[in-house]
Structure 1
């Protein structure tokens, strides 16, 4: 991944993906207060408006400035509220990145996240984009929507490795899947 590239604006048939903005703070707050989001995403607790402001004003810009990660907000092309976010973070292994995402309850069940993830994965794996060789997806068993989403995008768990993750102060076993340029579905 090339250091300090600006977060590229991406477009799909139904979505525009770009950096989170001040206008997204209420949607970030509402999505991160959702019980399903809180169950599976490592978030500050309690999650407050200040947490959402920090995410938009500091966390996302820091990722770009440091070259360590990029965050995209998913928005309907027709307008309306932010649907969720996708993050790609550089791993310790050269050429490898890890993808994470969450969506607000109002954006679930209509394929928006799959569509957005495909666009981000293609950009991340494109030598003219972020230039990764592979992407990883980490999920905790029991989070079946996460696994199904990853598989729909093309992540493979056949040779997946296990790893430990910390979620809400607990160390949990997690599965790791991989995605290469030729595997991106959509």
Structure 2
């Protein structure tokens, strides 16, 4: 049986991943007002301070309470701004979950999200962690940085496997990648 979704603190060589907190609200606001983030993440528009407060105070805690999803905030182990967020969402299919993320523009191109994604995927697939058998990653064609990030963490994209996602009121075709427990040797 899959474990309840909990925000377990995860440590990597450079990062601390934990539940977003009050101090992260200004960074959530800045990142979610960024044009690149808004282009690929289904966010409320306009994204306001109240939106960021809702994300930290309601959305993240609700995911934990409902056991449906969990969100990690990325911070450098030396402190500073929130670099981004990474979410694991339980799928309808038993034993599987989907992942999604965003990075603040001040954190892009430094490998932070890749480092965090590797840690979260290992934790999510570990039988002593979240215990999922399979993880899914969806990206909308055009967002090639999302695909490269997923591939760097071990996800594979088979030709022809697609789904439809809602992005800013439009139905868009998305490619689906997978990562299985066996793929990472757990």
Given the two structures, how large is their TM-score scaled by the length of structure 2?
0.96
Moved more, 156-165 or 117-126: 156-165
* Equivalent in the alignment of 1:2: 3
Task: Rate the CA distance shift 1:13–1:33 in 2: closer, same or farther, 3 A.
Answer: same
Distance in structure 1 (CA, Å) of the matches to 2:108 and 2:184:
21
Report the 3-state secondary structure (helix = DSSP H, G, I; strand = E; otherwise coil) of the residue aligned with 1:106: helix
Match of 1:148 in 2: 148
User: Partners of 1:142 and 1:49 in 2: how far apart?
Assistant: 29
**How many angstroms does 1:184 deviate by?**
4.3
Unaligned stretches of 5+ in structure 2? none
The corresponding residue for 2:33 is 33
* TM-score, normalised relative to structure 1: 0.96
User: How far does residue 162 in structure 1 lie from its aligned partner after superposition?
Assistant: 0.7
Matched with 1:109 is 109
Structure 2 CA distance for aligned equivalents of residues 123 and 45 of structure 1: 33
Aligned mates of 1:66, 1:79 — CA distance in 2: 30
Contact 1:121 1:184 in 2 (8 A): no
In 2, distance between residues paired with 1:36 and 1:29?
14
Structure 1: stretches of 5+ with no match in the other structure = none
- Counterpart of 2:75 in structure 1 is 75
Relative to 1, partners in 2 of residues 1:61 and 1:158: Cα closer, same or farther, differing over 3 Å? same
Structure-1 separation of matches of 2:103 and 2:170: 23
Match of 2:11 in 1: 11
Query: Do the aligned partners of 1:160 and 1:177 also contact (CA within 8 Å) in 2?
Result: no
1:78 Cα shift? 1.0
> What CA distance in whole angstroms lies between the structure 1 residues aligned with 2:19 and 2:160?
31
Structural RMSD (CA):
1.3
Q: How many residues are treated as equivalent by the alignment?
A: 184
Deviation at 1:79, TM superposition (A): 1.0
Q: Determine if contact 1:134/1:181 at 8 Å carries over to the other structure.
A: yes
